[in-house]
Chain A
Amino acid sequence: MNESVKTSQHMGRGQISIDNVVKIYDPEGAAVMAVDHCSLEIAAGEICMIVGPSGCGKTTLLNAIAGFHSINSGSITLDGKLLCGPGKPQATPGSDRIVVFQNGALFPWKNVLDNMMFGPVMAGKMGIKEIKEKAFSMMADAGLSGTENNFPGELSSGVRRRVEIVRALMNDPSVLLLDEPYRALDSLTKSVMHEALLDIYYKNKVTIFFITHDLQEALFLGNKVAIMTSRPCKPKKVLTVDIPYPRSYSVVTDQRFRDLMEETSDLVHEEAKKSFAAGEREG
């Protein structure tokens, strides 16, 4: 499978335009500018990685797309439809954009199967039997068969993450919004999770908006990587990773990958230093 095949598969759904978005927290008082005239184009079916230091405002951008926070100016559209913008400061949360949270948001009081079924049951478009069948087939696809009766608390954090991503996909979203989902995982688990995510990505036509502060993660997973400035947040450099999918982990030792790492690591390091210095001043 190569790049051109993939993009044609994903045509149509999940194209995001972020146009001059500004977000200021507490505009009357402290007026902290979190996002400053940020513009970014994400094509349908693309994996767009957002890289930046912790606390730079990446999550604010994600929350604006998801509809958890308002924006002060600019606009965000999904497939040409206005999510938020002039006259509508906050998007309405919807099942076309599902967030996978940093700390996970599987409902701990529901077992895996009930978690999987939650979205479709809420949507009410399918019968319970159909939903159950879909859940079982998607779980089988993601190698999660046999976990359906477990509560999330009984699973390892890696498995929990996979369950949550599949729960998100149960809603047939156009976009998956991932907020540092693998932050708490050790690097070995992380590499397994990366391949599992790509595997899921190949099988599902979905745009992925993925926040991270791990540059290697960004370059391995992404076909677009946006390196963000430290607060206020906007793209400092947007690059395309021209390594074709499917990618295996051996890619990280290739010359092309190492070149890209070299090209970008200074930029990321610079922003990290700025963010650290700002933190020192505030703290």
Chain B
Amino acid sequence: MIRSVQKFFFNRSSRRATIAIIVFLLFWETCSRSMGWFGFQVPWIGKIPAPSAVITAWIPLLTDSGYWTSWYLSSKRVFTGFLMAMILGIPFGLLLAINRTAYGIMFPTFEVLRPIPPLAWVPAAIIFWPTAEMSIAFVTFLGAFYTIVINVLGGAQSIDQRFFQAARSMGSSQWDIFKRIVLPATVPSIAVGASVGMGITWEVVVAAEMISGGGSDGGGKGGGLGFFIWDSYLGGSYQQIVVGMISIGIAGYLSSSLIRVLGDHFSKWTRR
């Protein structure tokens, strides 16, 4: 444990990252406090609360259950939407890749629906789904779904013909080919689709929460991180807006890392 911490700080790239973050925070602090310190306001950054003020606003929130409920609600929506997108997107992408008829019937419709931004679905989703919670989950799902399908489809279609020929020569049935060639060969594309899709779900969930008023538990604290930001804005607490933003950054980073670790685990062979 101590070893790995030591390694982290003596490793050149992590040292660089640490220094970069510190420099960034110092720059931000200086610019935010420019009015008080130098008598003039640095444009744009000068209007943003300083990191020290943000941290001061953050500390009491750490013991506030409403803040953690926001984390919980947003994460729950992200993972629900994301998992649904994986559960439906992977088989759908594979189906499009291996069945020419299915591709012919469904791909054109899919391609027309795909460019519609998930957020454009928010009003329709609110009408279609009985609860606000479900409409947010649906919009989040859409965010990841298209990316996952496109990646799975592309990955499965680009499998080299010779792998199929070799497998057939060695006596594989259609099912064997699907299970032992198509599926493993598509895993790296699934991993890429999942990590991109995960990023999109965070973008989407926050916006959806802002628009729909934070879901069924909304109307106060505890409507998700997107609602937390919006609520802070309406309440004029600019420090809390930044707290919310950084929280989302951290949450998004953690979930992407998780997906990346899982993806790497399942596609070891692509690393030389």
CB–CB A151/B163 < 8 A: no
- Name A93's contact: one of B160, B163, B165, B269 (CB within 8 Å): B165
Question: Is A56 engaged at the interface, CB distance under 8 Å to the other chain?
Answer: no
Contacts of B13 in A (CB 8 A): none
Q: CA of A109 to CA of B181 in the docked complex: distance in angstroms?
A: 9
Known contacts: A105-B163, A105-B165, A109-B185. The answer to whether A151 contacts B170 by CB under 8 A is: no
How many residues of chain A get a CB closer than 8 Å to chain B's CBs?
Answer: 26
Cross-chain contact A151 with B165 (CB below 8 angstroms): no
Residue in contact with B171 in the complex, picked from A110, A123, A152, CB distance below 8 Å:
A123
In Å, the complex CA distance between A51 and B25 comes to 69
Give the nearest-CB partner of A108 in chain B: B269
Beta-carbon contact of B272 and A154 below 8 Å: yes
For B268, give the chain A residue with the smallest CB separation: A151
Task: Give CA–CA (A119, B172) in the complex, Å.
Answer: 8
B162 neighbours in A (Cβ, 8 Å): 101, 103, 105
Q: What is the CA–CA distance of A154 and B185 in the complex, to the nearest angstrom?
A: 17
Give the interface SS of chain B, mostly helix, strand, loop or mixed.
Answer: helix
Complex contacts, B160 vs chain A, CB 8 Å:
103, 105
B221-272 residues with Cβ-Cβ distance < 8 A to A are 267-272
Chain B residues within an 8 Å CB radius of A119 = 170-171
A122–B171 contact, CB under 8 A? yes
Is A99 within 8 A of B269, CB to CB?
no
How near does chain A come to B94, taking the closest CB pair, in angstroms? 16
Q: State A93–B177 Cα separation when bound (angstroms).
A: 14
- Which of A67, A94, A122, A123 has the largest count of B CB atoms less than 10 A from its CB? A122
Instruction: Name the residue of chain A whose CB is nearest to the CB of B163.
Output: A105
Contact A122 B170 (CB under 8 A): yes
Beyond A94-B171, A119-B171, A122-B171, whether A105 also contacts B166 by CB under 8 A is yes
Q: How far is the CA of A148 from the CA of B172 in the complex (A)?
A: 22
One of A98, A103, A107, A154 near B169 (C-beta < 8 A): A98
- CB-based contact A153/B166 at 8 Å: no
Tell whether, in the assembled complex, residue A151 and residue B171 are in contact, meaning their CB atoms are under 8 Å apart. no
Give the contacting residue for A109; candidates B167, B169, B172, B184; CB below 8 A.
B184
A98: nearest chain-B partner, CB-CB = B169
| A108, B159: Cα distance in complex, Å | 11
Give A120's nearest chain B residue, CB to CB.
Answer: B170
CA distance A99 to B163 in the complex (A): 11
CB distance from B165 to the nearest CB of A (A): 5
**Is A136's CB within 8 Å of the partner chain B?**
no
CA distance A97 to B171 in the complex (A): 11
Cα of A186 to Cα of B180 in the assembled complex, Å: 33
**A171–B268 touching, CB < 8 Å:** no
**B169 and A151: CB pair below 8 A?**
no
| A111–B170 CA distance with the chains assembled, in angstroms | 17
Given contacts A151-B268, A153-B269, A153-B272, contact A109 B170 (CB under 8 A): no
Given contacts A105-B162, A153-B269, contact A99 B169 (CB under 8 A): yes
Residue numbers in A under 8 Å from B268 (CB-CB): 151
Q: Do the beta carbons of A93 and B187 come within 8 Å of each other?
A: no
Task: Please indicate the chain A residues that have their CB under 8 angstroms from the CB of B180 in the complex.
Answer: 107, 118
Residues 3-37 of A at the B interface (beta carbon under 8 Å) = none
- B: residues with CB less than 8 A from A are 160, 162-163, 165-172, 176, 180-181, 184-185, 187, 267-272
Other CB < 8 Å A-B pairs besides A94-B171, A107-B180, 16 of them? A66-B165, A67-B168, A93-B165, A93-B169, A95-B171, A97-B169, A98-B170, A99-B166, A103-B160, A105-B166, A118-B170, A122-B170, A123-B170, A123-B171, A153-B270, A153-B271
Q: Could you name 30 residue pairs across A and B whose Cβ atoms are closer than 8 Å?
A: A66-B165, A93-B169, A95-B170, A95-B171, A97-B169, A98-B169, A98-B170, A99-B165, A99-B166, A99-B169, A105-B160, A105-B162, A105-B166, A107-B163, A107-B180, A108-B269, A108-B270, A109-B184, A109-B187, A109-B267, A118-B167, A118-B180, A119-B171, A122-B167, A122-B171, A123-B170, A151-B269, A153-B269, A153-B270, A153-B271
